[in-house]
Every structure is written in C-alpha cells, then in structure tokens.
Amino acid sequence: MKNLSIEYNDLYFVIASLGRSNLIKDFFTRSPRSQTKLGPRDDRRIIRAISVLLFCAYSSSAQEIWTIKFDPKEPAPGQTLKIELKNAPERATVFARFKNKTYPFYTVKQPSPHKRALVGIAGDCPAGQYPLEIYQRGWLRKRKIWQKEIVVIAKEFPKEVIELKKDKTSLIEEKKGASDTAKIRQRLKKLTSEQLWQGVFDIPTQGRQTSIYGIRRVINNDIPWNFHKGLDLGAPEGTPAYAPGGGHVVLAEPLTLQGNCVLLDHGQGVYSIYMHLSEIGVRPGQLLKKGEFLGKVGSTGIATAAHLHWGIYVNGDAVDPAEWLTRKF
Ligand SMILES: [Zn+2]
C-alpha cells in the first residue's frame, strides 16, 4: 500500500508512491542474518542498502508524488463523482472499487494530461458512508494504494403519478421489455478508453422540461415503477434531436418500452440514451460529433405525449443529465 500521506486539504490528498518498501524488504531478507563481524562484502551490502534507501527517498519525494482530487467531496444520488489522479505515469493501470463495482482510470488530455475515473452515484443510493479503494495493477498482482470513506449525502426526490392506458400498463406488468432492457444493460458494460466528448454537453433538443431525473414514479396510483432515470423534454412530434457531445452510435432500433431508441457511447464509461423517437436518424457504428442529428422527438413506447427521454449512464449507473449541461467532465 502506498503509505505516505504528505499533505491534506479539503479536496486534495497527496500520496507518495512508496511501493518500493517491498524492494527494501526483499533486499534485507537476502542478506545473511547472523553476522558477528563486518567484512568487505558486508560493507558493500551496507553501501547498496543505503543507496537503495536514498534512491527511494529521492524518487518518492521528487518524482512519484501522486495527487488525488475528489469532486464533489460529498456527492448526492444522481451526481457524477470525478476522481482525478495526477502525476501517475501513463503506463500505470489504476482502478477504483466502490460499492462492489470496478471503475477504471482513463487518461484525460485536458487541461493537462492526468488519469481520471468517473463514478455514477445511483439515484436510489441510500445516504451513508461507503469505502472507496484505489488499486494499481502490477505485473503479478494488484496492490491497494489508497482508500477513503465516501459520504453520499441524502437527497429527497419528488413523487409522480403517471396515468397510462391498459394497453401500455400491460406491457410493464407482463415485463414485455425485459429482454430490451437486458440488451441495453449489456451494452453499457462495454467500456472504451477514448474520450469522444469535450467540455459540457449541449441540450439534445429544444423543449420544455416536463420531468426531472430521480422522480419516484407510480403508474395509475398502484404500480410502483423505477425512479426516473433521465430528463424528459416535451416538444412537438418531429422536433429534431442532436448529439449533446461526440459519441459512437451503438444501438439504434425500436424497443418495446423505450420506443425508437438510440444509445451513444461517449467513451470512458459514459453513455447517453434517447427514447420515444418518432424517427431514428442514425445507424449503429456511426461516429457523431456534438450537434449532429440523431432522430426526431416522438411518443413511441411507453409515453403519454411527444417528448424526448434523455438519459446519461456513467459506468452503468443512470445519473442526472442536467449536471452534464453545466459541469465539465
Ligand atoms: Zn423519461
């Protein structure tokens, strides 16, 4: 474990890469244990030991000080937690573990090269303290280099009753969309390392916000449904929708509950989804730039009126897209 904490302030933690402690231990283990007199060979060993110690002290203080920054320090459900790691060599393979999931650190070039992991805090994550561990993968094994308790603060989400006709409620009750949802979940697991977006996202369509992220939904007052995993933007049928940032089209097809659906892979574990489209304007495999047309707003699937459901997933968890309109990732 990297074991030297040099500096601490509100958001920064500094760790020194003292994984070399194993090297020091191995060196002494190989030395004879029961020496009574020191001969020339022992002198050489002592000189080598001192050299190794000086090298470790130099390298840990001058070259391998890694800094970690958490933003925000105490996330709320629906927020995206950004973990930035500076000064780690590009070849180092680092990942975080949080709530039984693995989050790889990817190289980010802006504003200066560093490593970053994005953790989506699920909208139904109960408030509390959760351990977050950071590991470095070596040749033979992984090493835990740091750990911290992350406080997820409480957030109240409003409730909403949705009135749906029998033909649509039966689709939900009979779990007709289960295989489609499994297909989307399977797609979200595929991680690609290149960051295809830059800066904040643009709103994908001009429209009135008709429902926010996180609302607890009940259908016809008696069927409890999942919390709302995106933003609803109400707009007339046929209003164009655009990519909010660069991304690959990885799914573009009609689904039972989601209606005509498009899924974009923005890279580094970030995906965005567009549901209920009246028309799909892209094909899987296409690379879209920010602002490129992807389809038209509609009311296909489970929808009470024409609107665009826009969702963002970060390493498999649905987060609040509104945050991505103002925060740079
Ligand atoms: Zn929605």
Distance in angstroms (rounded) separating the CA atoms of residues 134 and 1 = 10
pLDDT at 209: 94
Q: Which structure tokens are listed for 274?
A: 């567009």
- CA–centroid distance, 82 to ligand 1, in Å, is 25
Would you give per-residue pLDDT tens digits along the chain (329 residues)?
443 332 333 334 445 443 443 333 333 333 333 333 445 565 676 666 666 555 544 444 445 689 999 999 999 999 999 999 999 988 899 999 999 999 999 999 888 899 999 999 999 999 999 999 999 998 889 999 999 999 999 999 988 877 777 776 676 666 667 889 999 999 999 999 999 999 999 999 999 999 999 998 777 766 666 789 999 999 999 999 999 999 999 999 999 989 999 999 999 999 999 999 999 999 999 999 999 999 999 999 988 899 999 999 999 999 999 999 999 99
**How close is the Cα of 69 to the center of ligand 1, in Å?**
33
140-158 core/surface letters (b: 16 or more CB in 10 A; e: else) = eeeeebbebebebeebebe
> How high is the pLDDT of residue 239?
98
Ligand 1 centre distance from Cα of residue 233 (Å): 8
Query: Rounded to the nearest whole angstrom, what is the distance from the C-alpha of residue 41 to the centroid of ligand 1?
Result: 75
Expressed in angstroms and rounded, the spacing between residue 13 Cα and the centre of ligand 1 is 39
Q: Could you tell me the distance, in angstroms and rounded to a whole number, from the CA of residue 281 to the centre of ligand 1?
A: 20
pLDDT for 54 equals 55
**Domains in the chain with CATH codes:** 2-61 (no CATH), 67-152 (2.60.40.10), 159-324 (2.70.70.10)
Q: How far is the CA of 215 from the centre of ligand 1 (A)?
A: 10
Q: How far is the CA of 102 from the centre of ligand 1 (A)?
A: 28
- pLDDT value at residue 34: 34
Give the Å distance between the CA of 100 and the centre of ligand 1.
28
What's the CA-to-centroid distance between 156 and ligand 1, angstroms?
A: 18
pTM, two decimal places: 0.80
The H-or-E segment that residue 58 falls in is helix 40-62
Biggest CA-to-CA distance, the chain:
93
Torsion sign over Cα 230, 235, 241, 246: negative
Residue 275 tokens, joined: 């549901």
Res 224: pLDDT:
67
